[in-house]
Every structure is written in structure tokens, then in C-alpha cells.
Amino acid sequence: MEYSFADSVKSLNPSAIREILKYAADPEVVSLSAGNPSPEAFPTEKIAKISAGILAERPIEVLQYSTTEGYQPLRDRLTAYLKEKHSIGREFDNILITSGAQQVMELAAKVLCNPGDAAVCEAPSFIGSLNSFRSLGVELVGVPIEDDGMNMEALEQALKANNRVKFIYTIPNFQNPSGITMSMEKRRRMYELAKSFGVIIVEDNPYGDLRFEGEDVPSIKSLDEDGLVVYSGSFSKVLAPGIRVGYAVAPKPLLQKMVVCKQGEDVHTAMWPQIICERFMADAGFEAHLESLRSLYRKKARLMLSLIEEHLVPAGITYAPTQGGLFVWCRLPDGVDMPSFCKRAVIDYKVAIVPGNAFLVDENEPCQNFRLNYSTPTDEAMRKGVQRLGALAREVIKV
């Protein structure tokens, strides 16, 4: 049987990262290619205790159908928390609980775009979101990223040149894969541009709470007086990704359409995860937990950066500045073939890293970058992995 697929789905393939992960399954391979939170970060005992409590006291709430908008106590708690802590959410906004933050991107694109419409994204950007947009037939326009975020002149040009752009997709804090944070000045400029071109901003902020250095920069959503921003948050990096809970704060007319589309996707997000999140925020020491995560990742990030300084920088590799999140974005000197560097790393040196072109709108564009992760590996694995990369770099790069 020959199957005929939707145009937007025909060319869609499993992400290149999955190919890398296949090699990473070899027990001899040290993986610096993942994007998982550290298992040390999971408050397993507290979650087990909360779970026992809710299953004893209100099992029907955990097991019965619920509303698409989400578990009301979680919606209320998040609304108050986001308002108080991050100045997010105005009268015209509402909140939707989603099955992980990925669903926010998918729903926003589904609601805003006809196939053939376009979205501007950072180049590089998170491949999961890019594939989500692609699966809906949304065309991607990549705008280069600098050390303080998207190039604003290039963004303006892109908006001028393409009147089918419906939204700008941005990860403003510790962006995946680059680790870069957008400056306040650029956030304001992006907001102004969105307003003047009449496009929406989809602000994806899974890593915002994982700053290990420097001062928080206010979200773009906190500037949103005109109802232009869909803000996406997640419990994946601050509690656990396997529970799949995220949320969107967006202007009501937009959010209401997202609710109708979510109803057609999964009716509502599973209840156990939602109630766990609500109870965890309510009385399991959420702020102290965030602080302990920051301290865990600070330690890991500093180790990674010192290893890079020791083993990779002398060989001519540079990296983008970062103050949080899970990743470091490294760059090979011009003239070194990046894809074959990554391939040799995993095959000959048994260390898995992600080739940077996987995060581009067009994977075939030239790219000198690769992504390193420091949240998943143990300290020992990180040491071993970066040492191996250093050996490969010394072999390959003629300084």
C-alpha cells in the first residue's frame, strides 16, 4: 500500500537528535547530547507523599474526566504566582494548562496559521518547536541570534519582507540550543516590532527559573499591554518532565481558540500530574526547591565551563556566554568540518554531542556549532566527555 500524506507531513522526519541518541545508547559512549533535567533534581519523596495523599483523599478527582482549561486550583495558583513573581498576566489574559509546554507552541501555531503562513524564529532554535510548526505547514524564517538575542535589524527586515508572518517564536532565557539570553532592550524592541507589524509573540520560557548567575530579565509578556504575547511556561525543568505539565498565559480570544483545539487533541491534561504540580506549589517548598535546582545546575554549569576552558578553548573552540539553563553552544574554528567532527566524536572518541545544524531552519546551511549539555551527565561523565572532545579537537584543529 502506498500511503499519501499531508503535504506538511511528507518531509517531516524524526529529529536528527534521535539519530545521535542511538549512538548514545552504546554504554561506552559518554552523552553530552541530551536535554534531560538531572535525575538528582527530582523531589521524588515529596511527590510520592503528595501522590499517596491525593489518591487516598480524592481519587475520583484524579481519575475522572475534567475540563479542557485545566485543574482549577492549579490555574488559580499559577495565575497568582505568575502575577506576583513575574508581573505576567493582565485582565485580558487567561491561563490554560497543557500537556507539556510543547503543546503551547503547537496550539498557538494551529490557531494562528494557515498552511503557508510563516513564523519567525531564532536561528538556531529548539528543534521540537520547529518540527511542531512544520507539521502544521507553517514556513519558518530564521533570524540570526547574537550574544544578547535575536538581531533586531534582521527581525525587522524579515517582518517587512514577509507579510505572511503570523508570529515570532522566541526562547528569551538561556535559549535552547545557544544558552543565550535576550537583553531587556531587545525584548522591548521585539515587542514594538510585533506591535507595529501586527504579529503575535510566542514566548517560550522553560528555563527561566534556572539562572545560576546574574539578574533576571523581565519577560516580554510582562510588557504586554496590547494582548500580543502568548507566554508559555513548564514544569518539565523545575519539577519533572515525565509528568508533562505546561501552561499558556494568553489574551482570552486567543486562549479560547487554543482551548477548543486542545479539546480536539487530548480533551484535557492528565489529572494526576496537574494535581501533583498544584500540591507541590502549595505546600512542598516550591521556592526552596527552585533554589536547590539553581544551586545544582550552578555547580554543573561551572564544571562544564571550566572543562571547556581547559580542554576546548586552547584548541581553538569558542562558546556563547550563558547564565543559566542546560546548554553550552560551542563553535569550531572556520575550516573545520562540523558534521564530521560530531560524527567522529561519537564513533571514534565515544562522546555524543549535537551538531548545530539540527537546530537551523535549513539543516543544510553551513554551521560551525555544536551543543553541549551539562544537566544530564554525572560530573565524572562530563569530565571524561570534554577530555575526549579535547583530544579530538587537538587532532583535528590545526591552531
Residues 231-250 that bind a copy of itself (CB under 8 A): 236, 240-244
Would you say 199 or 338 has its CB closer to a copy of itself? 199
Give me 374's grid cell: 551539562
Q: Summarize the chain as % helix, strand, coil (round to 5).
A: 50, 15, 35
| Binding flags for a copy of itself, 326-355, as an x/- string (CB under 8 A) | ------------------------------
Considering only residues 120 to 139 of the shown chain, the ones binding a copy of itself according to CB under 8 A are 128-129, 131-135
Counting beta carbons within 10 angstroms of the beta carbon of residue 19, is it exposed (0 to 12), middle (13 to 18) or buried (19 or more)? middle
How far apart are CB 348 and a copy of itself at their closest, in Å? 27
The verdict on 257 binding a copy of itself (CB under 8 A) reads: yes
Q: How many CB atoms lie within 10 A of CB 131?
A: 16
Of the residues 16, 154, 184, 270, which one makes contact with a copy of itself according to CB under 8 A: 270
Residue 81: which of 258, 287, 220, 226 has the closest Cα? 287
* Phi, psi of 22, rounded to the nearest 5 degrees: -60, -45
Q: How many CB atoms lie within 10 A of CB 145?
A: 23
Would you say 42 or 81 has its CB closer to a copy of itself? 42
Considering only residues 20 to 79 of the shown chain, the ones binding a copy of itself according to CB under 8 A are 35-37, 39, 42, 44, 47-48, 51-52, 55-56, 59-66
Would you say 24 or 217 has its CB closer to a copy of itself? 24
Euclidean distance between CA atoms 159 and 141, whole angstroms? 9
How far apart are CB 190 and a copy of itself at their closest, in Å? 17
- Amino acid letter at 121? C
Counting beta carbons within 10 angstroms of the beta carbon of residue 36, is it exposed (0 to 12), middle (13 to 18) or buried (19 or more)? middle
Would you say 18 or 302 has its CB closer to a copy of itself? 18
How far apart are CB 280 and a copy of itself at their closest, in Å? 12
How far apart are CB 266 and a copy of itself at their closest, in Å? 4
